[in-house]
Structure 1
C-alpha cells in the first residue's frame, strides 16, 4: 500500500511532513483536503484526526497525526534509506543534545514564527484580511530576543544538536521560510548581525528535499 499524506498543498505543517518524506526518499501519495470547504471538520475526517487539523498520514493502515510525531516516525522507519536525522538512541549524550535542540525550536521559535507568518502572509494572501502590524512587531521582538542564543550555539557547532543536521534544524524551515521569503523579514538571515545563524539558515534551506516541496505539492 502506498504511503499517503493527507493535507493541503500550501499548508506549512503539510509541507514539513512532505519535506521529511523527501529527505528519507519515501514515495508517497498526496491526498488534498479541501480546507476551505471544511472537509477537515467532517465526521469522516474526524475519525482519522479527532482535532480536525491537517495533516495526517496513513501508512498501510497505520494512521498518525501531529507533524513532529509523523516526522520522527518517518525518520525512524526509513533510517538508513536517507540521512540520519536524529542520533542513535544508545548514545545518551547525543540524544540529550538532540532533545535539547528539539526543545529550542518548539519553545523559542515556533510560536512567534507561526504568529508572524499568519499575520504577514496567511491573512492578507489567503484570507483577504489586514495584517495586525502591532502584533507582528510584538512577535518579531519576541523572536529577536532569542536569536542571540541561536547565534551563540551556532558559533560553536554547525547545527543545533552538533555537527550534523537533525529534525530539530529542519523543523525551523517551513514557517521560517514563509516569513523570510513571503513576509520579507530578514531576521535570522542578517549576515552582519547573525553570521552563524545566517550561514546555518542558508545551509538548511538549500537542501534538495526542501527545494522539491517549498513551492507546494
Structure 2
C-alpha cells in the first residue's frame, strides 16, 4: 500500500516539510489535498485520524501519524538507507540534530509564525502597518543573529551535513519571502550561505514552483 499524505497543496506549511522529506528520501506517496477553508480537516472521518483536526497526517499502510516533525523523524528513521541521509548514525550526531531541532521549535518557529501571520494580514490591507511589521520582524532578526554565530562554526545547524534540523526551517519562511521581505539573507554571511543552500535544494525549488504533488495517483 502506497503511503498517503493528507495536507495542504502549497509550499509554506507543515505539510510541505513532510513532502520534502518524502522527496529527499525518494519515497513514493499519494497526496490527498485537504481543503482547510472548507473545514475538511474537521470532519468526523478526518478527526478519527487527527483528533485536533489539523494537517498533515500520513497513513503508512494503516499506521496513522500526525504532527509534521514526528512524521519527518519517522520517515527519516524508516528509510534511513534510502535517498538523502537526514539523520546521523552516531549517538552524538543524533543528539546535535535534536538540539538544533529544539532550537528551531522553541526559538525560531514562534517568532517566524508570528511574523509570517502578521505579514500575511498586512498584505490583505490597502495600507500596510510598516511599523508593526518591523516590530515582529525584529524578533526574528534577533534569533538570526544567534544563528550567525552557530553557523560560523559549521556548515549546517547540527554539523557539516544537511539534516532534519535544517529542513524544519523551511516550513513557513516562504510566507515572508513571497511578500518580498528579505530577512534570511540580510543578517550575516553565514546565515545567508546556509539559507541560500537550503532554498536551492532541487526538491524544494520544484515544490515552491509547482506545489505539493504526489508521485503516485
Q: What TM-score do you get using the length of structure 2 for normalisation?
A: 0.89
| Equivalence for 2:117 | 118
Q: Distance in 1 between matches of 2:71 and 2:24?
A: 14
Indicate conservation of the 8 Å contact 1:14/1:55, yes or no: yes
> 1:54-92 CA deviation, whole Å, 9 max, x = no partner?
11000000000000000111111111111211111xx23
> SS where residue 57 of structure 1 aligns?
strand
State the aligned residue count.
Answer: 209
Q: Match of 1:108? A: 107
Q: Contact 1:117–1:183 (CA<8 Å) still a contact in 2?
A: no
1:68-147 aligned at under 5 Å gives the runs 68-88=69-89, 91-121=90-120, 123=121, 128=124, 135-147=132-144
Alignment of 1:115-194 (within 5 A): 115-121=114-120, 123=121, 128=124, 135-180=132-177, 182-190=178-186, 193-194=187-188
2:129 and 2:60 map into 1 onto residues whose CA distance is 40
SS at match of 2:184: helix
Indicate the RMSD between aligned Cα atoms, in angstroms: 1.8
The residue number in structure 1 matching 2:28 is 27
Cα offset, 1:111, TM superposition: 1.0
Q: Is the 8 A contact 1:19 1:209 kept in 2?
A: yes
Provide TM-score, normalisation by structure 1: 0.89
Structure 2 residue 1 is matched with structure 1 residue 4: no
1:168-205 Cα distance to aligned partner (Å, 9 max, x none) = 1011112123312x122222211xx4101000000011
Query: Structure 1: how far apart are the matches of 2:134 and 2:188?
Result: 19
- Name stretches of at least 5 consecutive residues in structure 1 with no aligned partner: none
> Helix, strand or coil: the match of 1:189?
coil
The higher-RCO structure (CA 8 Å, 6+ apart) is 2
Name stretches of at least 5 consecutive residues in structure 2 with no aligned partner: 213-217
Distance in 2 (CA, whole Å) between partners of 1:140 and 1:167 is: 25
Equivalent-residue separation in structure 2 for 1:134 and 1:44 (angstroms): 44
Aligned to 1:205: 199
